Chain A
């Protein structure tokens, strides 16, 4: 079992999870705009 200092764990989670969350939302925005572009005007 590897030990990880608490604050390192916190930063890891903040940067990775926070970053992935925003990237995922960005992808969703792009996908939604693509969906909307197929809407009949």
Chain B
């Protein structure tokens, strides 16, 4: 209430202002009680869907697996966090699926503005979110997996493999789970390139799976990455029953000698990555980003003159890339794409891929024994997958359970590093064959 006398002194201005304020107050009340206003201001709640709720739970589960259970925490923690971040409504932090959007100031936007390239029907013009920037910088162009491979190559010691090079064949045998899964996926009705991306989970190699999926079916990046990394961390649980199924107790007890293994010179270790790179890229040039970066990292390590670069590759480069890759991949786990029967199928087929790899690796070792004077314990074939060094440790553990006198670890390590090469080689060759088919005009 305004003082009457004060108002008179002010020439009635106070009453005027009070009437204005009352009018403004009514207008403000009208605005804040308006349904559209409430809907948009509290958009985080009003736009919250059941799919977002489920994806938040999934993100939480991935974080739990990484933090509490220590399952591949380097990847599952950022993937889980990115999944939560991207599925909170209206954050606009990333836009998936990518085809539905064009970014302001991108080349397509500029060409559209000058009338040269019309935007696709239904494409929305948006500002880039921070994870869009990371996606465009390193995931969409397949850069981050390759940078990660430099770090992995720098951390890998091919010494045990070089002491007994024929175990490279077991690294190849361990990749046939990929082809088994490919046939199964095609039989179940997956499209050709979808089946390839699902099958590559059998490579048991995160960067390879991410690289191939981004290349052929980027919309499946979320489920395939999560499946690949989850199953890699579950290798100690998945592999032993399959190994025991495909071997007899007598075979598992077989000891392996280290006397026949001669040390390898540093020159051999230094030239090996060059040999692998040249052989692979002559056969499958499209594998250059994968095999080239893996062997670059290893060459840096073995040449022993670039210690600083090796340290950076093993630490800073690997860590930064892991973080950016993980959070961006997690952010592509959009509820609409992830919460489908296809995702369940991906997880089921991924499991079959790992089991198949283990089985084919063991069978490959048994076939090798038929043709070889010096026998190997068939269990080491199961290490022919790229899950280094976990698969080698699992093989050693199952071997010592059967025969405490046997020490399979170094042999299994050699096979495990052979599996690393085998997985990248298999992916490179598949990319080359698919590229050749596409060049011939085959619809894929």
A binds B: yes
| A residues apposed to B, CB below 8 Å | 1-4, 6-7, 9-14, 16-18, 20-29, 31-33, 35-36, 38-40
On whether the beta carbons of A13 and B433 are closer than 8 Å, the reply is: yes
Known A20-B429, A21-B425: A36·B268 in contact at CB below 8 Å: yes
Known A4-B437, A20-B283: A13·B169 in contact at CB below 8 Å: no
Main SS of the interface on chain B? helix
Is there a chain A Cβ closer than 8 Å to B275's Cβ? yes
Query: How far apart sit A4 and B436, CA to CA, in the bound complex (Å)?
Result: 14
Is there a chain A Cβ closer than 8 Å to B353's Cβ? no
Most chain B beta carbons < 10 A, residue from A4, A6, A16? A6
Interface string of B255-273 (1 = CB under 8 A from A): 0000000001101100110
Say how far A9's CB is from chain B's closest CB, in angstroms: 5
| B-side interface residues, number (CB < 8 Å) | 45
On whether the beta carbons of A29 and B429 are closer than 8 Å, the reply is: no
Is there a chain A Cβ closer than 8 Å to B187's Cβ? yes
On whether the beta carbons of A10 and B169 are closer than 8 Å, the reply is: no
Is there a chain A Cβ closer than 8 Å to B73's Cβ? no
Known A17-B430, A21-B429: A10·B168 in contact at CB below 8 Å: no
On whether the beta carbons of B162 and A36 are closer than 8 Å, the reply is: yes
Contact of B183 among A7, A36, A39 (CB under 8 A): A7
A-B residue pair count with CB separations less than 8 angstroms: 117
Known A9-B444, A32-B275: A18·B179 in contact at CB below 8 Å: yes
Which chain B positions have C-beta within 8 A of A4?
192, 437, 442-444
Contact of B272 among A3, A35, A38, A40 (CB under 8 A): A35
Main SS of the interface on chain A? helix
Say how far B144's CB is from chain A's closest CB, in angstroms: 25
Q: Which residue of A lies closest to B443 (CB)?
A: A1
Say how far B376's CB is from chain A's closest CB, in angstroms: 14
Looking at B88-96, B130-138, B170-178, B223-231, the stretch in contact with chain A turns out to be B170-178
Interface string of B177-194 (1 = CB under 8 A from A): 001001100110001100
On whether the beta carbons of B182 and A14 are closer than 8 Å, the reply is: yes
Is there a chain A Cβ closer than 8 Å to B284's Cβ? yes
Known A12-B433, A18-B179: A24·B186 in contact at CB below 8 Å: no
On whether the beta carbons of B422 and A25 are closer than 8 Å, the reply is: yes
Query: How far apart sit A33 and B167, CA to CA, in the bound complex (Å)?
Result: 12
Known A21-B175, A27-B279: A14·B437 in contact at CB below 8 Å: no
Say how far B194's CB is from chain A's closest CB, in angstroms: 10
Say how far B265's CB is from chain A's closest CB, in angstroms: 4
Query: How far apart sit A24 and B175, CA to CA, in the bound complex (Å)?
Result: 13
Is there a chain A Cβ closer than 8 Å to B22's Cβ? no
Which chain A positions have C-beta within 8 A of B183?
7, 10-11, 14
Query: How far apart sit A27 and B426, CA to CA, in the bound complex (Å)?
Result: 15
Say how far A20's CB is from chain B's closest CB, in angstroms: 5
On whether the beta carbons of A28 and B168 are closer than 8 Å, the reply is: yes
18 extra interchain contacts, Cβ-Cβ under 8 A, other than A4-B443, A13-B433, A32-B275? Answer: A4-B192, A10-B183, A10-B186, A11-B183, A13-B430, A18-B176, A21-B422, A21-B429, A22-B172, A24-B284, A24-B425, A25-B421, A26-B169, A28-B279, A29-B168, A29-B169, A32-B165, A39-B268
